[in-house]
């Protein structure tokens, strides 16, 4: 029997005393086994709480085959988090070097580039043979689509990145 795959969001408007469930994320046409996320949604500059503009984005890892390999997906909401949609892009690696359980791309961090509305950057952990850097991708439409997925020159010992703003600077953290 195949298991069901649901991505669910919960929210609290009273500092965690009570929780409310948002609509489930609809997963269409995917051979996805499960999703996981290790990060908070990021509020973007087009936030209005309703309408067509994107309000929040959040990256998630998705197991996409029976071998346990992962790709990165980005989810977004246009109604302050009540309903969520899957980005059109699957950030993944094909081919050689993905031999282990949990191989591929997962555990990402995403940020809207300060001063550039709609332009986003994502760094993601890569777990495959001889990998020692993060992969990076960009979006020009608040995370609905992604391009330029490539390995970058930021060394990492197979760990999750975290990106924050600090004043006017963007800082990228990771463990080691």
pLDDT in tens, 86-113: 887 877 766 555 555 666 777 888 999 9
More confident residue, 81 or 162: 162
Q: What percent of the chain has pLDDT over 70?
A: 74
Say if residues 9 and 15 touch (Cβ distance below 8 Å). Answer: no
Q: Residue 113: CA atoms inside 13 Å, Cβ hemisphere, count? A: 12
Q: Which of 49-58, 91-100, 112-121, 165-174 has the lowest mean pLDDT?
A: 91-100
Give me the pLDDT at residue 131, please: 77
Q: Give the position of tokens 């990021």.
A: 42
Q: Is the pLDDT of residue 3 over 60?
A: no
Cα dist. 92→68, 87, 102, 135 in Å?
Answer: 13, 13, 12, 10
pLDDT in tens, 128-143: 767 788 889 999 999 9
Q: Give the mean model confidence (pLDDT) for residues 158-171.
A: 85
Q: Give the mean model confidence (pLDDT) for residues 106-124.
A: 90
Give me the pLDDT at residue 28, please: 47
Give me the pLDDT at residue 88, please: 79
User: How far, in Å, CA of 85 to CA of 168, rounded?
Assistant: 30
3-state secondary structure at position 9: coil
Q: Give the position of tokens 């009273």.
A: 14
Q: Where are the beta strands (DSSP E) in 64-141?
A: 70-77, 85-86, 104-112, 120-127, 133-139
pTM of the model: 0.80
Give me the pLDDT at residue 94, please: 62
Q: Which of 88-97, 118-127, 161-170 has the lowest mean pLDDT?
A: 88-97
Say if residues 164 and 171 touch (Cβ distance below 8 Å). Answer: yes
């Amino acid at each position: 029997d195949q298991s069901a795959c649901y991505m669910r969001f919960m929210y609290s408007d009273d500092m965690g005393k009570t929780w409310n469930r948002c609509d489930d994320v609809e997963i269409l046409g995917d051979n996805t086994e499960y999703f996981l996320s290790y990060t908070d949604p990021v509020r973007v500059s087009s936030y209005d709480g309703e309408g067509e503009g994107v309000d929040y984005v959040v990256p998630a890892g998705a197991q996409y085959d029976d071998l346990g390999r992962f790709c990165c997906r980005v989810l977004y909401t246009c109604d302050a988090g009540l309903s969520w949609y899957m980005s059109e892009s699957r950030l993944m690696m094909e081919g050689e070097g993905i031999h282990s359980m949990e191989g591929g791309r997962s555990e990402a961090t995403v940020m809207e580039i300060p001063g550039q509305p709609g332009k986003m950057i994502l760094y993601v952990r890569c777990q495959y043979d001889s990998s020692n850097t993060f992969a990076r991708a960009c979006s020009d439409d608040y995370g609905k689509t992604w391009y330029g997925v490539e390995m970058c020159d930021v060394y990492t010992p197979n760990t999750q990145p975290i990106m924050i703003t600090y004043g006017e600077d963007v800082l990228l953290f990771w463990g080691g």
